[in-house]
Structure 1
Amino acid sequence: MRALAILSAALLSLAAPLAAQAQPTAQSRFTAAEIERGRYVATAGDCAACHNAPASAPGREGAEMAGGYPIVSPLGSIYSTNITPSRTHGIGAYSEAEFARALRQGIRRDGAPLYPAMPYTSYAGLSDTDVHALYAYFMKGVRPVDRTAPATSLPFPFNIRTSMRAWNALFLKDERVKVDPGHDAKWNRGRYLAETLGHCSTCHSPRGFLMEEKTGSALAGGPLGAWYAPNITSDKISGIGGWSQAEIAQYLATGHVAGKAQAAGDMAEAVTHSFSKLTRSDIDAMAAYIATVPAVRDEGDKQPAYSYGKSGTFEAAIRGGTQPAMAGARLYSGLCAACHGRDGDGSPDGAIPSLHHNSTVGASRTNNLIAVILHGVDRTVGDRHVLMPGFGENSFVQPLSNLQIAELGTFLRQTFGPGDAISEKQVEIARSQSSLSILLLMARTGMVLLALILIGIVAWRLRRGGLRHAKATLA
């Protein structure tokens, strides 16, 4: 009998993990309301922007949430994973607890850490109700796709995922967002949306030595591939302190505020896939919160980026002119004036922005102006599609050389912006993103130092334990 009891206990212990793995199919019923809430939460979290395959990916068109999107980071491209309910290629085998752990702690079902390109450092603040709704949506509201996303391959030491455990121990705060009694419900809702689902800090906060977000200068701006996510603190010079709450809300909902800024790059994707689809009350709540983010000033900024410039008067000077200084003006006249206007005033209805009083042209950093010329603008809000073609190597209009982009950019900066110049080298860096190599070097050095510190701590503890054992033996 004793042997039978031991055998039964052993079988039960073996069955427990199997039962846990089978758990996802046990909870097969979710209410329609839970699934729809999860759909809205996933929209607010902008899941589609990263997990939907790009239209240009061969064989991946229409693969909603099936992964394969390359997320450019200072360490290399990180490919988004398949998060459809496929049990073989996606997350269909995840229990709700495993799903929550991946969202909040960045740990996959197999125990391997995720890279923080998946913004779990922000999603850590998600409420239990929203996590449950997301689980319901991804399990029952998304079509399973049995397709493997491309594997991420980062340089040493980041190809060793275990190193992320040390990073998480230092920088991940697995805490839910708590209501601040010092503010009203609207502000608290906006804070929750911006800090968790909207994960604004992932792009807009500067990074430290180990690529962690600098919490002391939250939302003060940071590099993002060829782009630069601008300062969106309440500072009136470097940030958006000169914007009204209504303008912030309009920008989030449409990606366009006349005389201020237009969304391009990753922000255009966020507007297209996420912010433009949120309720008006949620957009207003986000605007109310963002308007109060503590101001951070870049001492190099002298005036707001959107305050520079006026209409240009240069057409007469370039007619028949051959001066090298007018090369950028001729490029503008031939490629840009038809849409942005002969004098840079934009279209009369405001659909095409002016180039003066334009944050992209007037920003202290030239990153976004170069990136817009290279990659263009592409965003959709409702039935309105805003498209400006890029002039990079894949341009369907006219590919421009680094020199030509530098000439055009210099003309724009000197005619409508702060008056400085853009060099060929800056364009080369933006095109290849090689400026990020210094960040890679810093991060690698930091990880090596961190590894050495951890090894030292382990060795010290082992030595200390050995000394204690020796003393006890001698005693």
Structure 2
Amino acid sequence: MALIKRGAYLATASDCVACHTASHGKPFAGGLPISTPVGTVYSTNITPSMEDGIGQYTEEDFSHAIRLGIRRDGANLYPAMPYTSYARFNDADTQALYAYFMHGVKPVDEPAPKTSLPFPMDIRASMKVWNGLFLDTKPFVADPHHSVEWNRGAYLVEGAAHCSACHTPRGFLMQEDTNRDLAGAQVGPWYAPNVTSDTASGIGTWTQEELVAYLRSGRVPGKAQAAGSMGEAVEHSFQYLDSTDIEAMATYVKSAPAVHDPAAEGTRFTAGNMSSDLSSLRGTDGIRSVDVGIPTGAELFQGNCASCHSAHGEGSKDGYYPSLFHNSATGAHDPNNLIAAILYGVNRKTSDRQAFMPGFGGKPTDAMQLSDQDIALLGNYVLKTYGRADTVITEQDVAEVRHGGPSSNLIALARGGMAAGAVVIVLLVLAFVVRRRRRPSL
């Protein structure tokens, strides 16, 4: 029982349930569509079902899947499952996870939809080359130059919590750019911001207490609120971790080397001010459509936002609805999180409260549905009035976020036909061979 309990804790730390549970689906039964730059990936059934899950996996099979990205049948997983991070797990924790999923999870005999990516990404065997180039299979080794707390934080952040999988920029072949670790990256429709110690681009101005509070609750008043996949991590994972582990994670993240983004002038947490000019709500803000009959950004704000965030933008008095100034979503150089919040809303539940904002992306038949043009007008009004006024949102920006975020350049190659795809595979193989030859012999 102790081993299963330990495995359950590690599964929570790894946030397995968030990705492997579809909306209104059964826990760990898979089927959740995950937007990636190369297409939609469906999470798999990881219950101990003998037919549809991992019930036939041996402990070795399980270890190969989570640490090497190789299924029981020998096929490769896509790194949407963050085995590149889980490779850090030690043998004891891998054994505990296996015990939990085999004996602590109820089997669900329901197949998950199969992932079908465009050519050449649909060739799973190509991941063997990708892994040869980019997968570090060495388990975590403690650094004797740092404290026990720091090393525990490193083990969790680099491994179970897989923070770099979202917060580290990706290269052309979708590999993590280790030279810019935790420097911010697009994750589907949301942007996982820079969380390095840089005082302008990252969270270098945050205190240890603020970072702990954010990981635990998903909010730091006057600075940031978690939404999207980070909101899910808080809801399903971080809020349940031991306080010593949360403190350790904060200690490690606070030590992350600073990575500065020259485009992000000034910190995203202090941009904008409370608006004292209510004339803009009467439509004199200048942010309007060229088409007669299309509402202005101010009118859209008044009709959809002012009742919660207030006309002045300071939010509600109890802090439930955040201010629109000194807010990372309105103060960032990249406006995608503001767009995504308007489109998809926020629904984050913790032990002490639920943070809820309805989404306005909806279907055309929904009463609250806003068009791409509406959201661009609304977003620009919010930025100009309360946030980073030099950031501009276009209808194309909204359309891209509405459809799951930007696509990888590899998609363009795929659309170029099989010949282009074959060239990519050849280049990957050549790069792998060159890399292997450059490695010193053991």
TM-score, length basis structure 1:
0.85
Q: 1:355 aligns with which of 311, 321, 324?
A: 324
Could you tell me which residue of structure 1 aligns to residue 393 of structure 2?
Answer: 422
CA contact (8 A) 2:268 2:333 kept: yes
Q: 2:110 aligns with which of 114, 128, 147?
A: 147
Matched, 1:164 2:127: yes
The Cα of 1:429 is off from its aligned counterpart by: 1.7
SS in 2 for 1:293: coil
Match of 1:404 among 363, 366, 374: 374
Q: Deviations over 1:68-90 (max 9, x none)?
A: 01111001111010000111111
Is 1:33 matched with 2:2? Answer: yes
Q: Which amino acid aligns with 2:149?
A: K
Read off the aligned partner of 2:111 and give its amino acid letter: T
Q: Work out the percentage of aligned pairs sharing the same amino acid.
A: 51
Native 8 Å contact 1:236 1:304 kept in 2: yes
Partner residue, 1:294:
257
More displaced stretch, 145-154 vs 327-336: 327-336
2: CA distance, partners of 1:265 / 1:288: 24
What is the aligned partner in structure 2 of residue 132 from structure 1?
95
Equivalence for 1:311: 274
Structure with greater helix share of residues: 1
Contact 1:391–1:397, Cα closer than 8 Å, also in 2: no
What code does the residue aligned with 1:147 have? E
The Cα RMSD (Å) is 2.2
Q: Is the 8 A contact 2:118 2:414 kept in 1?
A: no
Equivalent runs, 1:206-221 vs 2, <5 Å? 206-221=169-184
Q: Give the 3-state SS of the residue equivalent to 1:379 in structure 2.
A: strand
Partners of 1:264 and 1:458 in 2: CA distance: 38
Q: CA deviation at 1:444?
A: 8.7
Please tell me whether the aligned partners of residues 189 and 405 of structure 2 are also in contact (alpha carbons under 8 angstroms). no
Distance 2:86 2:178 in 1: 16
Aligned twin of 2:426: 452
State the 1:314 CA deviation: 3.4
Alpha-carbon distance in structure 2 between the residues aligned to 1:455 and 1:170: 9
Farther off after superposition, 155-164 or 318-327: 318-327
Is residue 42 of structure 2 the alignment partner of residue 79 of structure 1?
A: yes
- In structure 2, relative to structure 1, the CA distance for the partners of 1:284 and 1:200 (3 Å cut) is same
Deviation for aligned residue 1:443: 8.5
Instruction: Kindly provide the amino acid, as one letter, of the partner of residue 15 in structure 2.
Output: D
CA distance, structure 1, for counterparts of residue 389 and residue 129 of structure 2:
45
Q: Structure 2: how far apart are the matches of 1:111 and 1:82?
A: 17
Aligned position for 1:275: 238
Which residue number in structure 1 is paired with residue 343 of structure 2? Answer: 374
Alignment partner, residue 245 of structure 1 = 208
After superposition, the Cα gap between the structure-2 partners of 1:380 and 1:459, relative to the gap in structure 1 and judged at 3 Å, is closer
Q: Deviations 1:361-396 (Å, cap 9, x if unpaired)?
A: 010001111110000001110152211001003496
1:338 is matched with: 307
User: How far does residue 397 in structure 1 lie from its aligned partner after superposition?
Assistant: 5.3
Deviation string 1:248-275 (CA, Å, 9 cap, x unpaired) is: 1111110000111000111111111101
* Residue 65 (structure 1) aligned to one of 16, 28, 34: 28
Give how far 1:321 is off: 5.5
Matches within 5 A, 1:256-267: 256-267=219-230
In the alignment, what sits opposite 1:11? Answer: none
* 2: CA distance, partners of 1:275 / 1:369: 23
Gaps of 5+ in 1: 1-31, 56-60, 461-475
Aligned 8 A contact 1:210 1:443 in 2: no
AA partner of residue 70 (structure 1): P
Question: Would you say 1:384 and 2:353 are equivalent positions?
Answer: yes
Task: Please state if 1:438 is matched with 2:409.
Answer: yes
Distance 1:458 1:373 in 2: 43
1:233 equivalent in alignment to 2:217 = no
Comparing 213-222 and 447-456, the one that deviates more: 447-456
Match for 1:172: what amino acid? L
| Counterpart-to-counterpart distance in 1, 2:183 and 2:277 | 36
Structure with bigger gyration radius: 1
Distance change >3 Å, CA 455–CA 376, structure 1 → 2: closer
Q: Larger relative contact order (C-alpha < 8 A, sep ≥ 6)? A: 2
Distance in 2 of aligned mates of 1:364 and 1:458? 36
* CA distance in 2 between partners of 1:447 and 1:382 (Å): 48
SS at structure 1 position matched to 2:338: helix
Q: TM-score, normalised by structure 2?
A: 0.91
Confirm or deny: 8 A CA contact 2:218 2:231 kept in the other structure. yes
Q: 1:444 to 1:304 in 2, by over 3 A?
A: farther
Matching residue within 44, 60, 83 for 1:97: 60
Higher mean alpha-carbon deviation, 261-270 vs 397-406, is at: 397-406
- Quickly say closer, same or farther: Cα 1:455–1:273, change in 2 above 3 A: closer
